Structure 1
Amino acid sequence: MQDAHKRGREPAFLKELMMKIAVASMDGREVSGHLGHCPNFLVFEIEGNAVKQVEKRTLGGDGGCQCQHGGLFSLLGDCQAIVSGGMGQGLVRMLQSHGIEPLMTDETVAETAVEKFLSGTLSKQNGHSCDCNHG
């Protein structure tokens, strides 16, 4: 197994235990209220059930409503889930079609949201919060 690590490949069982969770966060601490309005993300790399590292990523543009969400997928396409306070239903469908789980929550602290997600206690909102004029 060590040879697989030397070549930069993880054994199959480890891949199942590793994931990345993006949290929309304007200030690098709090969960943003609307995914489509937030250009800044914290990407938590999870190994097993623990945070291995946190990376900051920024989407280009002015931070206004990004009705064309293509840049989001190139920025966060390696993530398995995205956490936000809300997002439009069209973006929810797009995330799901890319194999990314959209997670809307009322949790306000990014790190706490990830910890609660990992423990299975993250409170999730079923609806969406978007007053933009798109799907």
Structure 2
Amino acid sequence: MKIAVASQNRRDITEHAGRCRKFWIYHIENDSIADKQLLELTKEQSFHDSFPHDPSPLDDVQVLIAGGMGSGLVRRLEDKNIEAVVTTETVPDRAVESYLNGSLVTRAIEPHEHGHRHAHERGD
């Protein structure tokens, strides 16, 4: 199992997962952390700047933990069979350990509006 945690500053869980470009990837074996690696995306690979059906380096994770994400990102993750988890926890290692033992404090995912429309047109 792989769990991704949004962490733009590499220390804390990021509040806005859509714009985040740095994720800790936790490799889980026997319900514990076996390995942890940093994945850095390009700006174009971030959820906010990529298209929902484009391949992503995060496609092979089963869970994505963040401090916040909009309902559009949640649907996008669900389409890729990735569980979206929004938490109040700020420490990545603690969040993963708590997720694994069932004690992670989560919060509801709120509808997310930017206040502007996205064209998201390809410049091919």
Band of TM-score, shorter chain: 0.7 to 0.9
Q: Which runs of 5+ in 2 are unaligned?
A: 119-124
The change in CA–CA distance for 1:73 and 1:110 in structure 2 (over 3 A counts) is farther
72, 77, 90: which one pairs with 2:59?
77
Larger Rg: 1
Cα distance 1:27–1:71, how it changes in 2: closer, same or farther (>3 A)? farther
Is 1:105 aligned to residue 62 of structure 2? no
Task: Name structure 1 gaps, 5 residues minimum.
Answer: 1-18
After superposition, the Cα gap between the structure-2 partners of 1:101 and 1:59, relative to the gap in structure 1 and judged at 3 Å, is same
Work out whether 1:55 is the aligned partner of 2:41: no
**Residue pairs, 1:17-28, within 5 angstroms:** 19-28=1-10
- Say which SS state the counterpart of residue 45 (structure 1) adopts: strand
In the alignment, which of 10, 13, 33 is matched to residue 15 of structure 2? 33
How far does the alpha carbon of each residue in 1:29-54 deviate from its partner, in whole angstroms, 9 at most, with x for none? Answer: 21000101211000000001110000
Aligned to 1:44: 26
Q: Could you say what secondary structure the match of 1:124 adopts?
A: coil
- Quote the offset at 1:130 in angstroms: 3.5
Q: Which has the higher helix share?
A: 1
Runs (4+) of structure 1 exceeding 4 A deviation are 62-65, 69-73
The count of residues paired between Structure 1 and Structure 2 equals: 117
Equivalent of 1:68, from 50, 56, 74? 50
Matched, 1:94 2:76: yes
- SS of structure 1 residue aligned to 2:56: helix
Counterpart CA distance in 1 for 2:64 and 2:8 is 14
| Partners of 1:25 and 1:120 in 2: CA distance | 21
The normalised TM-score by structure 1 is 0.76
Tell me, in whole angstroms, the C-alpha distance in 1 between the residues paired with 2:66 and 2:87.
6
Identity of aligned residues (%): 34
Change (3 A) 1:63 1:70: closer
Q: 2:44 touches 2:50 (CA, 8 Å); kept in 1?
A: no
